[in-house]
């Protein structure tokens, strides 16, 4: 696994720097140690995962920088009244004023637009909010939406069912869900239709009630598509639209 490095050298570097234990099980990681150090380790691993998604090489210097950034963010968060969301697998803490405001808007509004460059936590925080609402039974389901612009939204000619066609475009959302709930639990919720995946083109004509809907890469929608999406909200639902 590229994230771990040859002979797990990246994980060993994190263990040594934070004095924690990092165990890998497939695509999942189990961190143990002091709570503060574990939180820094989780943030560093998530940052490295995002770098891999942009085809960046994970060198020792990159790991060191991710650790430094995670430590600084953790100290910044502790120095402010940061909002926290406790999910089954990780404690999510807002980093700085902007993330704090973002979480406040999600909590108190039916519709939130998150605008910012990649890597600023828009998707991760939105998914954390959705998971929190689902666990507290404020909603009945989570709906993940992303415009499949790479395929021009013409998915009918691709092999496989709807899930296999749209999954690659929803990978960042799934990664966040796996971090918070674990892969097995996410799969069970998908099977029970409590977590639903849907390309934007398949949302027409629906009304979603008591749902938390997250649209990623919202900048890739047309005006007509955005109008269609915004009119899908039913009673008891809320939506987060993220983009750059």
The reported pLDDT for the residue numbered 53 is 79
Residues of the chain with pLDDT under 50: 150-153
**Rounded Cα–Cα distance for residues 205 and 228 (Å):** 9
Domain coordinates in residue numbering, the chain: 6-78, 90-243
The reported pLDDT for the residue numbered 137 is 93
Of 145, 116, 153, 161, the C-alpha closest to 211 is 145
CA–CA distance from 215 to each of 98, 124, 145, 194, 212 (Å)? 19, 12, 5, 17, 10
Tokens of 42: 């989780």
The reported pLDDT for the residue numbered 152 is 45
pTM for the model: 0.64
**Rounded Cα–Cα distance for residues 53 and 123 (Å):** 14
Of 204, 127, 234, the C-alpha closest to 170 is 127
The reported pLDDT for the residue numbered 153 is 47
Dihedral, CA of residue 53, residue 57, residue 60 and residue 65, to nearest 10 = -50
Helix (H, G, I), strand (E, B) or coil at 241: strand
What's the half-sphere exposure (Cβ side, CA atoms, 13 Å) at 65? 9
The reported pLDDT for the residue numbered 81 is 67
Tokens of 140: 């009945």
The CATH number for 90-243, chosen from 3.40.47.10, 1.10.10.60, 3.40.50.300, 3.40.640.10, is 3.40.50.300
In this predicted model, what pLDDT tens digit does every residue of 197-237 receive, in sequence order?
777 877 888 889 999 999 988 998 889 999 999 998 999 99
**Helices of type H across the chain:** 9-18, 35-53, 60-78, 96-108, 122-135, 162-166, 171-181, 183-191, 223-230
């Amino acid at each position: 696994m590229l994230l771990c490095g040859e002979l797990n050298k990246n994980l060993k570097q994190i263990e040594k720097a934070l004095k924690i234990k990092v165990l890998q099980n497939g695509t999942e990681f189990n961190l143990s140690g002091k709570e503060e150090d574990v939180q820094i380790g989780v943030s560093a691993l998530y940052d490295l995962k995002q770098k891999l998604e942009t085809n960046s090489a994970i060198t020792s210097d990159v790991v060191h920088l991710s650790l430094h950034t995670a430590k600084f963010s953790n100290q910044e968060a502790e120095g402010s009244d940061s909002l926290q969301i406790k999910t089954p697998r990780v404690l999510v803490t807002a980093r700085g004023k902007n993330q704090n405001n973002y979480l406040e808007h999600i909590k108190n509004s039916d519709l939130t637009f998150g605008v910012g460059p990649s890597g600023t936590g828009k998707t991760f925080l939105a998914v954390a909010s959705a998971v929190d609402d689902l666990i507290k039974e404020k909603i009945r389901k989570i709906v993940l939406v992303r415009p499949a612009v790479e395929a021009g939204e013409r998915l009918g000619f691709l092999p496989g069912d709807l899930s296999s066609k749209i999954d690659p475009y929803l990978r960042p959302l799934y990664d966040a869900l796996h971090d918070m709930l674990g892969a097995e639990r996410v799969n069970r919720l998908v099977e029970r239709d409590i977590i639903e995946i849907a390309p934007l083109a398949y949302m027409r004509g629906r009304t979603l009630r008591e749902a938390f809907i997250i649209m990623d890469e919202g900048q890739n929608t047309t005006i007509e598509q955005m109008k269609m999406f915004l009119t899908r909200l039913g009673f008891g639902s809320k939506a987060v639209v993220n983009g750059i």
